[in-house]
Amino acid sequence: MFTFALPKGSLLKDSISLLKSVGLDFSAFLDPSSRQLQIADPTGSAKALLVRAQDVPVYVEYGQAQVGIVGEDVLREKLPKVACLVDLGFGKCRMSVAVSEASRFTSALELPPHCRVASKSVRCAREYFQSLDLPVEIIPLYGSVELGPITGMAEAIVDLVSTGRTLKENGLVEIEVLFESTARLIAHPLSYRLYSDEFNTLIDKVRFAIASPAIAK
Amino acid sequence: MFTFALPKGSLLKDSISLLKSVGLDFSAFLDPSSRQLQIADPTGSAKALLVRAQDVPVYVEYGQAQVGIVGEDVLREKLPKVACLVDLGFGKCRMSVAVSEASRFTSALELPPHCRVASKSVRCAREYFQSLDLPVEIIPLYGSVELGPITGMAEAIVDLVSTGRTLKENGLVEIEVLFESTARLIAHPLSYRLYSDEFNTLIDKVRFAIASPAIAK
């Protein structure tokens, strides 16, 4: 019996739709009045944990969940020891560099050396600027990264952009895209080797489901 | 004119009450329909930023806010370069070690060497177990740390406990207290030296306010 680690937040609804289309019903997690963090599918054939997106790879890496759904951005930031099984297609967003609309900078390479860049994705931001050979000071933040340029604390931010609405509302403009991200199906590597038949059945069902137009992309 | 960094979450209401009693009105942040992250006091004598609790010391350290209110637990975890001005008394909680009720361990020293301890406060947890000379593996989590022992991923957790309700609801029991924590008034060190008269006036007003019984403790 598999345990799935599902991410709270923007990927949850599509993750639950996808699993429903492969015969697993975890829609109890969508009930806002429920505080349950651990449920079983009504058929008793699988369990699921509801955790923060960043914690999904932790539960999968330690084998407490054999399968997880998480954004590629989290995998790139945390580099967990998990197996990446399927690109699920939904949850499309991009990791971008953005600056104030009033700023004179139109590309990352124009940013002044040793300027400040605020980000929740410290590793992604650092690696990107290292790849440009541009030394910058990364300011690690937990939330509302857009306040960085607004308050003058940072010249730029590196943040996830989906519709671009938050950037626009805060007078920021995207100047570079580091990478595109989508939701991924991941697995505990040892479980994947031990239960390869069950995993391959699941992967086939998931691939069939995401190829069908009924699933929200 | 001072800019205050105020923490989203459990300390916000008491922080705003306290500042109101010293003549600064940032109650607009309590309006759930507002999405503003930056406001001015109606008298125009101060500004405030609404940020994640963990980001308060960042804004104060970089001088984008000269004053901040934040839990001591965040200061112990992040060790920011800020000046600690006043213990505000409210926001009482404690950083504790907890285990499952079913566990046989009744103190931290009984935990088996190299066991797993889940925590959001990785530095605090690591330093505590180092001080006991007990090697443990810290599993960094972002949320719902109580799932660690429930799923069997961790033998224990290190987490903030306020009423103890979350622990109880999840069948966990406190076995050690690392430290007690309350909200602190912090300052940007250079601003504190440059504007010592303004700071001392503020500190006197805050001390007077917290000594009066009208402020929520």
Tell me whether residues A147 and B38 touch, CB distance under 8 A.
yes
CA distances (Å), origin A159, targets A69, A105, A122, A162, B74: 20, 17, 10, 10, 23
Gap between the Cα atoms of B170 and B167, Å rounded:
5
Beta bridge partners of B118: B139, B157
Chain B residue whose CA is closest to A120 = B55
- In 10 A of CB A47, how many CB atoms? 18
C-beta contacts of A137-140 below 8 A and 24+ residues apart: A139/B58, A139/B62, A140/B58
Gap between the Cα atoms of B116 and B54, Å rounded:
24
Gap between the Cα atoms of B5 and B64, Å rounded:
9
How is residue A13 written in tokens?
A: 């609804």
Tell me whether residues B38 and A62 touch, CB distance under 8 A.
no
Gap between the Cα atoms of A146 and A154, Å rounded:
9
Beta bridge partners of B87: B184
CB pairs under 8 A between A and B: 70
Share of chain B above pLDDT 90, in %: 93
Helix (H) or strand (E) holding B130: helix B122-131
Residues of B in contact with A54 (CB under 8 A): 142
Task: List phi, psi (to 5°) of B126.
Answer: -60, -45
- Chain segment A161-211, per-residue pLDDT in tens: 999 999 999 999 999 999 999 999 999 999 999 999 999 999 999 999 999
DSSP string across B141-170: -SS-TTHHHHHTS-SEEEEEESSSHHHHHT
pLDDT of residue B113: 97
How is residue B69 written in tokens?
A: 């209110």
pLDDT of residue B217: 46
Mean predicted confidence (pLDDT) in B37-50 = 94
| Nearest Cα residue to A50 out of A92, A9, A1, A93 | A9
Mutate to test the interface with B, among A8, A34, A38, A64 (most CBs of B within 10 A): A64
Tell me whether residues B144 and A62 touch, CB distance under 8 A.
no
Contact A136, A111 (CB under 8 A): yes
CA distances (Å), origin B62, targets A101, B18, B55, B112, B193: 22, 24, 11, 42, 15
Contact B179, B95 (CB under 8 A): yes
For chain B, how long is the longest CA-to-CA vector?
58
Let me know how long chain A is.
217
**Predicted confidence band at B21 (pLDDT cuts at 50, 70, 90)?**
very high
For residue B148, give how far its alpha carbon lies from the nearest alpha carbon of chain A (Å).
Answer: 9
- Chain segment B155-213, per-residue pLDDT in tens: 999 999 999 999 999 999 999 999 999 999 999 999 999 999 999 999 999 999 999 86
Domains of chain A, earliest start first: 2-91+182-211 (3.40.190.10), 93-179 (3.40.190.10)
Gap between the Cα atoms of B59 and B62, Å rounded:
5
pLDDT of residue B36: 85
Tell me whether residues A141 and B52 touch, CB distance under 8 A.
yes
Of A217 and A209, the one with more pLDDT:
A209
How is residue B203 written in tokens?
A: 């500190």
By a Cβ cutoff of 8 Å, what residues of chain B touch chain A? Answer: 8, 35, 37-38, 49-52, 54-55, 58-59, 62, 64, 116, 139-144, 147, 150-153
- Cα A145 → chain centroid: 16
| Nearest Cα residue to A144 out of A129, A159, A162 | A159
ipTM of the complex: 0.91
In this complex, which of B62, B139, B143 lies closest to A153 when CB atoms are compared?
A: B62
Tell me whether residues B52 and A147 touch, CB distance under 8 A.
no
Chain A residue whose CA is closest to B62 = A153
Gap between the Cα atoms of B184 and A186, Å rounded:
42
How is residue A74 written in tokens?
A: 């989290």
